[in-house]
Structure 1
Amino acid sequence: MLARTLNPSCALSSSSRSCKAFYATVRELRHRPPSVSHENPTPDNDFILSILKANPSLRDSKSYLTSFGVRPRPTSPTTTQSPQPAASSSTYASTDNPLTATEKTQLVESILDPVHQATALVKLQGPFTDVQLESVARGLVYLEKLGLTSVIVLENERDEEDDDRAEIIEQTLRLVGYLEAQGSRARPMLDSLVRLGPPEEDDSALDPDIDPPEAHACPSDLLAIRSALSAGEIPVITPFALDSHCRSVRISANDVLSALAKAMTDAGKDPHQNGDIDLTPMRLMIINREGGVPSYARSGYPHLLINLTSEFSHIHETFQDPWRHTHPHSLSNLALARTCLSYMPPTSSAIMVSHRSPSSLIANLITNRPALSSSLPHALLQGNRKLTPHIPTLLRRGLPMQVYRSTEHLDKAKMTHLLEQSFGRTLDQSSYFDRLTRTLDYVIVAGDYAGAAIVTRETASPESTNTTEAEPVQYLDKFAVLPNHQGDGTVDFLWVALHDESYGLGHPFSANPNGGRGGQGEGKDLVWRSRVNNPVNKWYYERSSGHLRQGDWVLFWCDGEKRLRTEQMERGRAPMSYIEHWEEGRLGSWMDSVMKIPSCWTN
């Protein structure tokens, strides 16, 4: 087996060789003829299929081009905005223009031969068998081909409390051997690259609740990493640190990664330190045997997307005891992601993935989104065969969510700025906020007005429902996200909060920390409209229970999930009819109410 013949741990006795000897032996591997001939190379089908399965959207493709392709020429702000789901009371101007022929060519060329190389921090949490490690190494080499070079820190669950240097070094060289067997170049770093203790001045953590790491790195400590990246090599780092007496001691890999996240991000901000290699980490990848963080809302299947700012404590509170045995490192890795992302740029993300899903790393790199959208209807997610115990968890720094039920609590200036930036139109502030004062049900605000979902109560027509008094229509009046927050998870976070405050009420999986009802209450049907030519309608189709086209408009709705569940339980195996008694006349009532809503724009 090729991997076994190139396994350094089989050829060396780590207890009797110096670090120099280890390094020299690994270097020699590059000159050994591989056991498989590459004179007539064949296409790497796994690599190509992994790219195709990523299925990037236009926004994903443009984002990838920005990071790894030829730098785009400057354009006006209106042509660089990406679309976000928006429920407009009048029109919505899309700015998601298709890729030009030149951009398509650049995208293909950038995927096959990236112009710019970016950096990722990787925690490799074993132990792994030979087959598992070979699979992981192949995935990391694929990422390098796409322009993302890994800075790897090893951790072995069996010896994380043991200071057996020989064992740690042996595992480091073993990984280097597998990376080199896949055609990459790797450099083992057997010396300490970080120092014990927090830095003297540590004010970069955005959240005061985040404890600083127990280690730090100075700019000079990054020279070895910079050297390896400049030489086109993958650094493989041992979890050692220098103490106050300049002794090398074993520490947690989490502390090493946190120290490197801060130091490498700081170096990326300093042009004098950065040089020709951008050390700023774009991703944090935690590759282990247990996969993502289990979710109570998905029967123990992993979370798809986590908003660390608003969900961190809630995940701890809902973490079940059996998971402490099946997923013993989930919470510590969750804390690692929160610490690292607090230092890394806001556009960065973290992913927890099982060694069984190496191709998902490629999908995450190209799209920077979860394998399945967390804002899809819960019933659809539960029935999706792609939802497996090994699906990865994507983590973002995220934003706090707050629910307001009166216009008195709104910052009207910030809300106006959000709506105008999102829709690209001028708001008639006076008439719009006057109408909200009379009809507002609630507003969900993400962060400092980075996004908002505005829900109103609209009067239903009794004639349309054949009743003397119709229930008000719960109408999604506006759904908006600032252009600079599109693609960072805010859209999904906001829609999940909307679900939990409206049609998802009454289910335990709606008890998320969004500052609202906490899942208590009866879910109500949510209705909204969109122009037929709105390119975001595809996103709406996936998240709605139904839709109806009426002229230039499409009416969407989401049924109250608790009522649907109750109806299903009462019927048992009996099928539902095409139109249930409680559905009669509601579409006419909704359309009659919604189409009477005036435009809020002055242009």
Structure 2
Amino acid sequence: MLPRTLHATPKIKPCLNSRSAQTFKAFYATIRDLRHSRNAPEGGDGEPADDDFIMSILRANPSLRDTRSYLASFGPKAKPTPPREVRPERNEQTDVPVATEARPPDVAPQPQSPVIASILDPIVRRTALVKVQGPFTDKQLESIARGMIYLEKLGLLSVMIVENDQMARGEENERSAIVEDTMRVVGALEKQGARARPVLGAVVRLGPNPGDEDVEERDFAVPEAHTFPSDLVHIRSALRAGEIPVLPPMALDSFCRSVRIDSNHVIAALARGMTEAAALERTEKPGQARESEVPSDDVDLTPMRLMIINREGGVPSYARSGLPHLLVNLTSEFSYIKETFDPQWKGSHPTALSNLALARTCLAYMPPSSSAVMVSHRSPSSLIANLITNKPAVSSSLPHALLQGNRKLNPHTPTLLRRGLDIRVIRTAAEIDRPKMKALLEQSFKRSLDEGPFWERLEKSLDFVIVAGDYAGAAIVTREECPPNAPPDFNPITYLDKFAVLPSHQGDGTVDFLWVALHDESYGLGLPFSANPNGGKQGKGEGRDLVWRSRANNPVNKWYFERSTGHVRMGEWVLFWCDAEKRLKTEGAGRANAGLSYIEHWEHGRLSVWADVVMKIQSSWRK
């Protein structure tokens, strides 16, 4: 459904002045027609060639937050400086004094951007674990090698483990065959100008890590291999020399023989071993207690990315007819994805579930900021976007209708996986942890909560609260009664009172996880793709229009515009809403090719009712 401008508008109540009425006419937009899917033509404005490194960076389109996050990991560590006086400068065009610190970056750009300079010449070098899941042709390996070089230029050094799905374990001459595959990858890297080092000796040992037998049962598969810091000497040496270590999936057995094992066990053992070795190094070096602090001439062994490059692409999604999942919350979605995995996908995606389990295990050992990506060999430049933004190619919280028609969503779209948080739904105000909710709201909005009236209001009108993790994020939804003069068939208004995420969790997927759960619990109810494991109604029920308001100058509004069905500006406020998707689908299907009109019978007068109720809700903040 694409936004369209109205040619007719409902009557607005007299309480809204004429200027507001004009605003309704000018800005009322509703997502309607999805019958015309707009696919990009071949060539023309299509995606730029993967061999253009700079264009690949630009195509990632990083936001300011993305850039700051990237520089926090790879850029120089700024030393704290005392506050300095803001001196006025002259604006050459207007001759009006302007504070230097307030000048937007596009008014007077510097000759050389420090952001671009830092991206192209990173100070800190970090590591990624890369599973090269073949077999691949020489041309395909060339594409993969090019992606690895992209990452190396951005400061991410890959530790590559080579797998061949068509080579059964135990075959005659399998060792020489897997070594040959490893050397082909090394050769492909060197042909592209990279420095690569084959590490043909086993660096992991068969069997669980000593001491694991005493640990309580975990919610992920414990690796059936392990490694000690001393075993990583060849990997560490290669990384420090600026070389990409390439390993076959070999392990030492109890007789010190080098045997081939499942590459997933090797990768999981390395994820744990490299993380632990890096932590040990920091404790041995005073003044480097934080994860981000490593010498500029060294390499942080802690893996910050797991990359699975295969011929399958991402994990097929039940919500998108087999097209890949965009973003997976492993904590809350892992079991459900396995349960809803269509048996027919086993032919086209035979290793999707095993790779899903691999990501879950590795991310359990890697830092919380880490992520995993499952990507086809056809999309090497998408690895750049993942590194710089740490976000999926297309946001999973966009309206399902827009995702269906999005040209970026195809069988080769990568799947991004995060450790994530558990999601649960609270139905009564008594179940809310008030101190934690207060801390979340105040840190997110940077304002002081007027607690008395706020809690009193929730006790009377709370519909539900969706909580992510230990109050890392929350969506508070209330039921607002319609005024007496509203049409008799009007239901109570489902109002999004607060949507908040802790600053420390903004950018780690929590926002999308929370909005998807909100969708499933309100305007997405009743449709199959709303049956996500978010602790709520599991998609059962009738969808309800979701309404909320936001200050007109709120920088988050761009994000709201993309996810709402429509909006209307009302002075200093913007009123947003999401139509119940099941009703839109039913109405549209009933009219076949005629589609929906601009104003349906159930839409007449609702904006007036919503405005009358929502704009009278008192602020929750202290003045």
Shorter chain as denominator, the TM-score bin is: 0.7 to 0.9
Percent identity between matched residues is: 66
For residue 250 of structure 1, what is the aligned residue in structure 2? 260
Counterpart for residue 353 of structure 2? 331
Letter in 1 for 2:510: T
Residues 335 and 207 of structure 1: CA distance in aligned 2, closer, same or farther (over 3 Å): farther
Quick check: 1:288 aligned with 2:310? yes
Q: Is 1:432 aligned to 2:438, yes or no? A: no
Distance 1:121 1:446, change over 3 A: same
Deviations 1:289-320 (A, max 9, x none): 00000001001000000000000000010001
Q: Distance in 2 between matches of 1:341 and 1:218?
A: 19
Match of 2:157 among 149, 156, 173: 149
Partners in 1 of 2:228 and 2:129 — Cα distance? Answer: 17
Gap change, CA 1:469 and 1:168, over 3 Å in 2: closer
| RMSD, matched Cα | 2.1
Which of 109, 113, 117 in structure 1 is aligned with 2:121?
Answer: 113
1:5-24 correspondence runs (5 A): none
The aligned counterpart of 1:546 is: 566
Q: Which residue of 1 aligns with 2:146?
A: 138
Q: For residue 541 of structure 2, what is the aligned residue in structure 1?
A: 521
Q: Which residue of 2 aligns with 1:561?
A: 581
Give distance in 2, aligned partners of 1:544 and 1:576: 18
After superposition, the C-alpha distances for 1:207-249 in whole angstroms (9 at most, x for unaligned) are: 8121210100001011111100110000001111111111111
Q: TM-score, normalised by structure 2?
A: 0.84
**Counterpart mapping for 1:111-260 below 5 A:** 111-162=119-170, 164-202=174-212, 208-260=218-270
CA distance in structure 2 between the partners assigned to 1:361 and 1:171 by the alignment: 22
Q: Secondary structure at the match of 2:589?
A: helix
Describe the superposition over 1:552-598 as per-residue Cα deviations: whole angstroms up to 9, x where unpaired. Answer: 00000000000000000111111422211110111111111111111
Query: Which amino acid in 1 is paired with 2:482?
Result: A
Select 1:446's aligned residue among 468, 484, 496. Answer: 468
Distance 1:206 1:487, change over 3 A: farther
- Indicate whether 1:383 and 2:405 are aligned: yes
1:63 maps to which of 45, 69, 81:
69
Matched, 1:53 2:73: no
Shift of residue 115 of structure 1?
A: 1.2
- Alpha-carbon distance change, 44 to 284 in structure 1, aligned in 2, over 3 angstroms: closer
**Structure 1 counterpart SS, 2:621:** coil
Deviation string, structure 1 residues 261-313 (Cα, Å, up to 9, x no partner): 00111122222388732100010000000000000100100000000000000
**Matching residue of 1:407:** 429
Say which is worse superposed, 586-595 or 275-284, in terms of deviation.
275-284
User: 8 Å contact 2:159–2:246 — kept in the other structure?
Assistant: yes
SS in 2 for 1:375: coil
Aligned to 1:351, the other structure's residue is in SS state strand
Q: Deviations over 1:155-205 (max 9, x none)?
A: 000114245111111111111011011111000000000001111134999
Structure 1 residue 65, shift from structure 2 partner = 1.2
Give a deviation string over 1:402-461, Cα, whole Å, max 9, x none.
001101111111101110111111111121111001000000000110000000001222
CA contact (8 A) 1:205 1:342 kept: no
Change (3 A) 1:502 1:366: same
Contact 2:50 2:380 in 1 (8 A): no
5+ residue gaps, structure 1: 1-42, 77-95
CA distance in 2, matches of 1:528, 1:161: 57
Write the distance in 1 (CA, Å) between the matches of 2:51 and 2:204: 39
SS of residue matched to 1:535 = coil
Q: Which moved more, 1:62-71 or 1:335-344?
A: 62-71
Once residues 578 and 299 of structure 1 are traced to their aligned partners in structure 2, the CA distance between those partners, rounded to angstroms, is: 29
Q: Which moved more, 1:129-138 or 1:274-283?
A: 274-283
**TM-fit CA distance, 1:468:** 3.7
Task: Rate the CA distance shift 1:174–1:341 in 2: closer, same or farther, 3 A.
Answer: same
Q: Report whether the alignment pairs 1:533 with 2:553.
A: yes
Listed as ranges, the gaps of 5+ residues in structure 2 are: 1-48, 83-101, 286-293
